[in-house]
Amino acid sequence: MFNLDYFADNAEGAAVLSTVLVQAEPVPFDRPLDTFADEVAAVLAEHPGTRLVMYPELHLCGAENPRDTAEPLSGPRTRRLAEMAGDLGIWLVPGTVCERGPSGEVFNTALAFSPGGSLVASYRKIFPWRPYEPYDPGDRFVVFDIPDAGRVGFSICYDAWFPELTRHLAWMGADVVLNPVQTTTPDRAQELVLARANAIVNQVFVVSLNVAGPFGVGCSVVVGPEGQVLAETAGADPAVLAVTLDVDEVARVRRRGTAGVNRMWDQFRDGDAPIELPLYQGRIDPGRWRPGGGDPR
């Protein structure tokens, strides 16, 4: 068990997000969701006052053939998870699920449910780990707002290897990026570097929550907007990270600069010429280079 309260220059009324991250193995997809509800309730009993509970990638879909669990977001699994969040009065991120698309696609989809019992955000993984992951890619970035806390963005596992994704979430105003992971391979060490790098270059919190052993390699991490490790698990054993994020730190870091010097979001000046980006057939437009400039829908 790891606990850490992170308040940098905190004041009354500040935007904070009390979060519990559960590093756990996948559970059989045919296990009743009521059992999952009991597990979440037990975690909340140990950490009263928690606002958001998160689980790893594909947590509810079993360790084998998770595609067999695919169902539309209008299906009974989503309805029960929404009901669960409402009953417990929390923001619930149950990892990701296999979503059956309208034309038979199968997406690896992260979900966020509100304390009001509603599905408020769903994000289809844009970069499935090919050729190993048999999922169709999503086509849009997703952020959602938690009142009195801040804006949260989704990436899923291998998405972290593509800096464009976290950059877009930050541009859309995300203060915190949730990255549920199911890494069973030796490259977790590199993923931990990427978690810190994505936090540093975008000045955001990054939460990278991996699956526990023996199926996964664990090593979950929470990173602050200057790249500092705020909490981490020691290895692959099942564990819980209880972390309170001072979300206002994002604005403070951007104002004073990372390490007191680097202010990337204030790089451009009026009259600077656009920078062509041939790889994307697009450009960086200095007039649009500000967090919060993207459509959050």
* pLDDT tens track for 86-142: 999 999 999 999 999 999 999 999 999 999 999 999 999 999 999 999 999 999 999
pLDDT of amino acid 294: 62
Nearest alpha-carbon partner for 20 in 81, 86, 92, 89: 92
Quote the CA–CA distance of 121 and 137 in Å, as a whole number: 17
Q: Which residues of 179-217 are buried (b: 16+ CB within 10 A; e: fewer)?
A: bbbbbbeeebeebbebbbbbbbbbbbbbbbbbbbbeebb
Give the count of domains, the chain: 1
Q: What value, to the nearest 5°, has the Cα angle with vertex 200 and ends 92 and 141?
A: 45
CA 57, distance to chain mean position in Å, is 10
Indicate whether 62 belongs to any domain: yes
CB proximity list for 5: less than 8 A, separation 6 or greater: 243, 244
Indicate whether 292 belongs to any domain: no
Q: Which regions in the chain score pLDDT beneath 70?
A: 1-13, 293-297
Indicate whether 41 belongs to any domain: yes
Instruction: Tell me what the pLDDT averaged over the chain comes to.
Output: 94
Quote the pTM value.
0.94
pLDDT of amino acid 10: 40
Quote the CA–CA distance of 14 and 12 in Å, as a whole number: 6
Indicate whether 214 belongs to any domain: yes
Indicate whether 135 belongs to any domain: yes
Specify the CATH number for the domain of residue 34: 3.60.110.10
Contact yes or no for 36/84 (Cβ under 8 A): yes
pLDDT of amino acid 4: 39
Decide: residue 128, CB within 10 A, 0-12 exposed, 13-18 middle, 19+ buried. buried
pLDDT of amino acid 292: 85
Q: Which two tokens stand for residue 272?
A: 């600077």
Contact yes or no for 125/169 (Cβ under 8 A): no
pLDDT of amino acid 14: 80
pLDDT of amino acid 253: 98
Reduced to 3 states, what is the DSSP secondary structure of residue 168? helix
Indicate whether 105 belongs to any domain: yes
**Cα radius of gyration rounded to whole Å, the chain:** 19
Quote the CA–CA distance of 117 and 87 in Å, as a whole number: 7
Indicate whether 280 belongs to any domain: no
Q: Which domain holds residue 164?
A: 2-262
Indicate whether 272 belongs to any domain: no
- Interval 106-120: pLDDT, tens: 999 999 999 999 999
Reduced to 3 states, what is the DSSP secondary structure of residue 119? strand
